[in-house]
Amino acid sequence: SQLTATKAGRHVVREKGTYLILRELHRWEREPEVLAACEKLIQVLIGDEPGPGMENLLEVKVPEELEQQLQRLDLEEEERWRREQEERQETLGSTPCPEEPAR
């Protein structure tokens, strides 16, 4: 996601077809942290370009209250992913998915 911090970086990442790769990765990835990162990066790639003064997202000042709220939402999302993953594993038992090699 560091590559998409600047307008030029976002342009290069879009031009290389990264969205299509991320979309495929998102379809089969099972790790909550990787899925969350994919979703956030996809949102950056398909979203509108930020307005003037926000070309470099690393330099944007985020109010502390908003940053805390975003961190809390990230934690809640990670916990939701973990619960869903655990539920899937309980439902499937120890049988690996067809795409997943047996261990």
Q: Pick from 39, 49, 48: which is nearest to 19 by CA?
A: 39
What pLDDT shows up at residue 96? 55
**Higher per-residue confidence, 5 vs 85:** 5
pLDDT band at residue 103 using 50, 70 and 90 as cut-offs = very low
pLDDT in tens, 38-95: 888 888 888 888 888 777 777 778 789 988 998 898 888 888 878 887 887 788 775 5
Q: At residue 31, what is the residue type? A: E
DSSP symbol at 30: -
C-alpha to C-alpha distance for 91 and 13, rounded to whole angstroms: 38
**Higher per-residue confidence, 3 vs 96:** 3
pLDDT in tens, 9-30: 889 999 998 888 998 998 888 8
What pLDDT shows up at residue 16? 92
Contact between 7 and 55 (Cβ < 8 Å)? yes
Contact between 38 and 26 (Cβ < 8 Å)? yes
* In the predicted structure, residue 102 carries a pLDDT above the cut 60: no
C-alpha to C-alpha distance for 64 and 78, rounded to whole angstroms: 21
Contact between 13 and 46 (Cβ < 8 Å)? no
pTM: 0.59
Domain limits of the chain?
Answer: 1-60, 61-93
DSSP symbol at 4: G
C-alpha to C-alpha distance for 12 and 20, rounded to whole angstroms: 14
